[in-house]
A and B are shown apart, each in its own frame.
Chain A
Amino acid sequence: MSKLSLENVTYRYSVGTPFCKTALDGVSVSFEENRVIGLIGHTGCGKSTLVQMLNGLLKPTEGRVFLDGKDIWENPKEISAVRYRVGLVFQYPEYQLFEETVRQDIAFGPTNMGLPQEEIDRRVEEAALFVGLEKETFDQSPFELSGGQKRRVAIAGVIAMGPEVLILDEPAAGLDPMGREEILGGVRSFQKEKKSTVIIVSHSMEDMASYADELVVMDHGKVARTGSCRDIFSDRDSLLGYGLDVPQITRFLIELNALGVPVRTDLFTVEDVRKELLRLYPSLAKGGKR
């Protein structure tokens, strides 16, 4: 049984007005436990709608959403319990901070859940550790922090709610390489330790190649493809058709292949390509065959 799944879900905005728009069109997809899943697709493909569907912020116009095999809308009054179990971090989450101190802001979600104080404290510290926030910042105002730190406070605020599924919409958008690595690495270690399901929406194929176990490709309100990074990235033509591309290192392999060098083209991290080239051509390490 999958952790979280959508069954034939359709969603239309502004039904009954001339602005009516179908954002999701009969989507069926399931997300398994204990892995990082990358959700990729061109802007406007329905990714943002899909993630809001997964934690009950939006209700499907048609179709059903299952969490642990149970329809989340069976009892609409209990939807907030679903939101605690499926944590959602929006794009630019630093703009939702509001408390006086970092500690209070991270504790906001857990407090709303009605947890006892010691448990809240424990979770705040644990969540801060995952995203790499130093303890010195705890009593500072979140508004005094740098952009990257604010982002980490906001993500910690959702992690502290102890979600079984954590969804992040473009968590690294606008950050520099170091900031990206810190956040994505933190999310990865959270996933490893909690064995939870993590869904990351991203535009960066390079990031997906290094952090995601599986990919879900969306196009025009539908799920176009699902599979491992290898499955998805070894079919560049269809990715191009969805307005996406493969990582640069994979394009390099394709280019090399076209020049008549018989390398495999289904690798997508620098490390794998390095190993493959050295395995195929040990002579490279001695300065080529010349």
Chain B
Amino acid sequence: MITDITLGQFFPGQSVIHRLDPRTKILGAIFYIVIVFLAKNVFSFLLLVAFTLFLVLLSRISPKVVLKGLKPLIIIIVFTAILNLFGKKGETPLISFWIINIYPEGIRYAIMIIIRVVCMLAGTSVILSYTTSPTAITEGIERLLSPLAVLHLPVHDFAMMMTIALRFIPTLIDETDKIMKAQTARGVDFSSGSLIRRAKALIPILIPLLFSAFRHAKDLSIAMECRCYRAGKGMTHMTTHRFGLRDYLSALVMCAFCAAVVLLNKYAPGFSL
């Protein structure tokens, strides 16, 4: 069923990571992705895995939850791994039959891809999406982009739009589900017939959905005006994040981690992947 999609991945908590400034976390997540792709040999990979585990523990989010979050992406992970397994050519094939040759390089590559993707997803989830409320993320983006407001770019409007979009996704999914069922009860068939027939079957869904979205937009804008909204003019925030010791320390930790990966890549002997 369409409503099964779990949204709002945020798990409220009080861990060190939860309490970081959202800006730190956004930049940290980007930095973290870069580091993941810097790792090149066995030692730097081991460090990467260890550091990711450290982050998971630090976030106090159950490793089970993190693993479950990876589940929907298993197909993509396996697919990329297989592509690399068969695609990478080396000198002497390890296994060879018909037109398929598997080289040791391919195996190494596949393993590397899996570790990279898993670490990247797990790491960024615990740094950002699991530990930061969507509103805080939007606030973080808004503040990171705030220098652009000088150029008259509507940074606040953009952030507000994102918040509202996040808020209304579950509502609209519910409504889509309801409208689909109602039209099915009126004899619409979404699952058979030619492509054109199926495309036509979407009209009875899309039009009511569009009307519904406009209705929500109109009513919400009135409600927001009644709650004294004036496009961010003079607006304060309940949870104001200021860069604190915590944020500087974590920046330091990330830099140290990056340096360690680079050094291990360079000086750790042999074992290059």
Contact = CB atoms under 8 A, between A and B. Distances in A.
B181 interface: yes
A23 B208 CA distance: 28
B218 interface: no
B208 A14 contact: no
A12 B198 CA distance: 29
Interface residues of B, number: 22
A57 B4 contact: no
B245 interface: no
A97 B181 contact: no
Given A57-B181, A98-B204, A112 B188 contact: yes
Given A14-B4, A90-B178, A55 B204 contact: no
B153 to A, nearest CB: 36
Nearest to A88: B185
Given A90-B181, A98-B203, A80 B187 contact: yes
Interface residues of A, number: 27
B185 A55 contact: yes
B187 A112 contact: yes
Contacts, number: 60
| B interface secondary structure, majority | helix
A90 B178 CA distance: 8
A143 B178 CA distance: 19
A84 interface: yes
A251 B208 CA distance: 42
A90 B208 CA distance: 14
Residue from B181, B182, B183, B207 whose CB has the most chain A CB atoms within 10 Å:
B182
A158 interface: yes
Contacts of B181: 52, 57, 90
B92 interface: no
Given A95-B175, A143-B211, A83 B204 contact: no
A143 B214 CA distance: 13
A46 to B, nearest CB: 16
Contact of A83 (B1, B184, B211): B184
B32 to A, nearest CB: 28
Interface in B49-64: none
A210 interface: no
Interface of B: 1, 4, 6, 68, 175, 178-179, 181-189, 203-204, 207-208, 211-212
Interface of A: 13-14, 17-19, 52, 55, 57, 80, 83-84, 87-88, 90, 93, 95-98, 108-109, 112-113, 143, 157-158, 161
